[in-house]
Amino acid sequence: MSIGNNSSVWYNSNLRGDIGSITVGQNSLLQDLVSVISKQPKTNTVIGNNVVVAPNVLLESCTLEDNSFIGMGGNVRQGAQVKSFAVVAAGAMIPENTTVPSNQVLKFNGIDIIKIFEKDLGWKSCEIFKRHYTRRKRGFE
């Protein structure tokens, strides 16, 4: 398991690399009750840089590229890939071996595309999340 500089994992989150590895890049935020699992042989979970994972998310042997966002209660299954600047809406389930394209917001079953994502506008809220949790994290160091 590897967690990059300035990244944080919050209360009651669980990172289980029973067989596969787990890598979290720099400046990433895993909020409360996030479960990250790599439980099958030769499967890894990779969370890139500047990723925001909201509370109560399940990540199972998947890849979240840099600057992606997983909404509250999301579920990203084995082999799925969430590309850079993609957003998985709250409560969405991304099936096994599915790719969420860059600059798109996906909801519910991981197939419906809501809209093209305006990364310059929409990512301001993600930056606010990260700055807030980075300040809070310093209080625990």
Contact 28, 44 (CB under 8 A): no
Tens digits of residue pLDDT in 79-113 = 999 999 888 888 888 889 989 888 877 775 545 55
Question: SS3 for 107?
Answer: strand
Q: Report pTM.
A: 0.84
- Mean of pLDDT values over 61-81: 94
What local confidence, expressed as pLDDT, does residue 100 receive? 87
Residue with tokens 């299954």: 77
Q: How confident is the model at residue 141 (pLDDT cuts 50, 70, 90)?
A: low
Superfamily of domain 2-138: Hexapeptide repeat proteins (2.160.10.10)
Residue 128 pLDDT exceeds 80: no
Residues 6+ apart with CB under 8 A from 68: 48, 51, 52, 82, 83, 84, 85, 86, 87, 88, 100
What local confidence, expressed as pLDDT, does residue 106 receive? 76
In 3-state terms, the chain is what percent helix, strand and coil (to 5)? Answer: 15, 35, 55
What local confidence, expressed as pLDDT, does residue 124 receive? 60
Contact 27, 126 (CB under 8 A): no
